Chain A
Amino acid sequence: MNRSRQLNRVGAASLARWIVITALLAAAGLCYVYLSLQLHRLGDQKKSLETELAGLRTQDDVANVQIAALTSRSALQRRLKEGYLKMIPIAEQNIVRLAPIRPAPEEDAIRPVANDQVGR
């Protein structure tokens, strides 16, 4: 009787070791699954962000195209014809040309750059 009790006794230390090992393995497995799922989720997030970015780029491109179309030479000419814009030719006497810079006789001398005709 005593002999059989001795034979079937489970060592507490051994059991605890196996429990710990099993728990660690289970935790590692769960971590693996969790991290895998996280990676998938982040991948999906990345994909949706990429899609969003592509959408924004598309919108930007479309807006740029619209700006180019509205400010193009042909569009401006059409607006000019329709009367939305008005252009007045600049008369020759209203053009101010800066003469080539010549060394001034005095350092502080005033050098005129506009003519009297401007604005008349």
Chain B
Amino acid sequence: MRWNGRTRCALVCIGFVLLFSAFSFRLVYLQLVKHEEYAGLAAEKHVYKQPIYAERGAITDANGEVLAHNVPVEIVVADTSHLNRERVAEAVALLSRDLKIDTDELWEKLGSDRHYIVLKRDVPESAADALQAKLREQNLRGVYFEHDAARLYPNGSMLCHVIGFTDFEHKGIQGVEASMDEYLRGQDGYRYIEHNRAGQEIVLYRGQERASRDGYQVRLSVDLNLQNIVENEIDAAMHEYSPERATIILMRPQTGEILAMANRPNFDLNQRSTARPEQMKNRAVIDMMEPGSTFKIVTAAAALNEKKVRPDTTIYCEKGIWNYGGRTLHDHRPYGELSVQDILVKSSNIGAAKLAISLGDQKFYEYIRRFGFGERTGVELPGEINGMIRPPQNWSKISITRIPMGHEVAVTPLQMTVAMATIANGGKLITPRVVKLITTADGKTISEFSPSLVRRVISEETAKQIGRALRGVVSDRGTAAAAAVPGFIIAGKTGTAQKVDPHGGYEKGKYIVSFTGFLPADHPEFVGLVVLDDAKTSKPELNYGGLVAGPIFARIAEKAARYLDLAPQPDLIKPTAAGRVASTSAPGH
């Protein structure tokens, strides 16, 4: 090969061709083969998936009054790598003063070398704006603000156990906030954004976006006007009797809607961090109690429904003392022959025991279960318990005489209310409801909770017979004359049970007193239950359901009837002798 000019030129050209071919191959390799990988790496550097937070839905009462909603707040965070080390003292002084944080705590937090430190949550917008302005004025860097929302409960402690609350991640952890969390929570959206070196978004390069869906609104069946009546009366009862615990429930028997529910002790939903665990318990659904004589409605209903007896069938009540199974059963008065109706009116333990014996263990147990005892009612409140009903094979020889008067069984206050509602609505066991409706923020209905029939427990006729007997309880013949409401006929039943000692046996001198009833007796608009645990009365002989819980029920029922615009019967408006008898005569049982 001769190295002439032509050859050299050709070699240079070939060299260039090879060089540019190599470049081209490399370019193709990078752009096509490695495209995904490098594009991903590049995106990691400047593309950011920005979350779009959904707003948690509000909770309202039956009339749309707000019970829980959100308030915009800021989270104050710090990045210590952006802080000027020489000016930390200034930052601490300012933050400590404006955010009301202890200076030692701030020194500890800002002294670390972390990039993300939460200084304070739930800072109101106005306070955050003021702090931001001061930081800018003093040219202090490294403190940032993040948008957040805090859950606010405008009514404080009212209905606290039903509403419940959320944790700092906005997840419902108690009450309706927990049970309806799925609906309330909503769905967060996102948006892919690119930002420049200063961290500002380049809107032009905004990528894929999915809008957030705000949480649905939950409308409760609770009417705040009725709840207010109940709260005032339970507070008055706490003041008057200083019981350890108290529960009041109002429910519509035809639909199972809970109209009001209050427990004591309670707590302020806005100050929940300071509440003790025992204040947070919704005792209406998680507390078990021996119901006492209110349980006799189950015994009598079972015997009547099985046609073992008629309302006017008389039963010999052994003059108040009866030996059965080697143990003595007492009545609080020496009754002779009593009709089935009068067994309820006078609350005879011996009469109730004999009714249960006529049914037999298995049948009686079957009715207890049919009334819903021993299983959850299904109300939309978390933590509900079953209660405790032992099967007949675990009964002792005397259980058949003790269970009919509400001993040896443990029920929740709500189960007892539902049982009374079954009598009031003509024998149907209805699932209690605390949630009425789920809607979007603009009012479109998503889901409606209609009444749910569990089963027919007793015939309509039996329910009417029990209802008639229960009217006698709230009369001067019965144990709850003090539960009478002028202008209305009330049906109800008192209960007084000795308090169970957790270590075994019963606590001496401590009682759980209760009253459950409905109004008006003919066409019940609501069923109510009042339970006071260890009420302190001026005299021990006054600590009975008819004398303590009965009058509380009467006051609530009177106000509730007026609110619900129930027309009183003119001939019943004047206070009867019953009221006077109630305050002076023998205690109710």
Contact = CB atoms under 8 A, between A and B. Distances in A.
Interface of A: 39-40, 42-44, 46-47, 54, 58, 61-62, 64-65, 68-69, 72-75, 77, 92, 97
Contacts of B154: 68-69, 72-75
Interface in B556-571: 565, 567-568
Query: Do most interface residues of chain B lie in helix, strand or loop, or is the interface mixed?
Result: mixed
Nearest to B74: A58
Question: What are the 6 tightest A-B residue pairs by CB atom distance, in nearest-first order?
Answer: A43-B203, A72-B154, A65-B71, A58-B72, A43-B204, A68-B154
A92 B125 CA distance: 49
Interface in B92-148: 125, 147
B69 interface: yes
Contacts of A69: 152, 154
A61 B58 CA distance: 12
A44 B203 contact: yes
A61 B204 contact: no
Contacts of A40: 202-204
A47 B201 contact: yes
A58 B158 CA distance: 27
A58 to B, nearest CB: 4
Nearest to B61: A73
19 contacts: A43-B204, A47-B201, A54-B147, A58-B72, A58-B125, A61-B72, A62-B72, A62-B125, A65-B152, A68-B69, A68-B152, A69-B152, A73-B154, A73-B155, A73-B224, A73-B228, A74-B156, A77-B228, A97-B567
B70 interface: yes
Interface string B198-240: 0001111010000000000000000010001000000000000
Contacts of B206: 43
A74 B266 CA distance: 15
B28 interface: no
Contacts of A64: 69
Nearest to A59: B125
A58 B228 CA distance: 31
B66 interface: yes
A12 B154 CA distance: 85
Contacts of B568: 92
A74 B152 contact: no
Contact of A62 (B71, B158, B203, B565): B71
A65 B151 CA distance: 10
A97 B567 CA distance: 8
B18 interface: no
Contacts of A47: 201, 203
Given A62-B71, A68-B66, 17 more contacts: A39-B204, A42-B203, A43-B202, A43-B203, A43-B204, A46-B203, A58-B72, A58-B125, A58-B147, A65-B69, A72-B155, A73-B65, A73-B154, A73-B228, A75-B154, A77-B228, A92-B568
A54 B53 CA distance: 12
Nearest to B154: A72
B573 interface: yes
A61 B70 contact: yes
Interface string B50-75: 00000000000000011001111000
Interface in B135-175: 147, 152, 154-156, 158
Nearest to B153: A72
Contacts of A54: 147
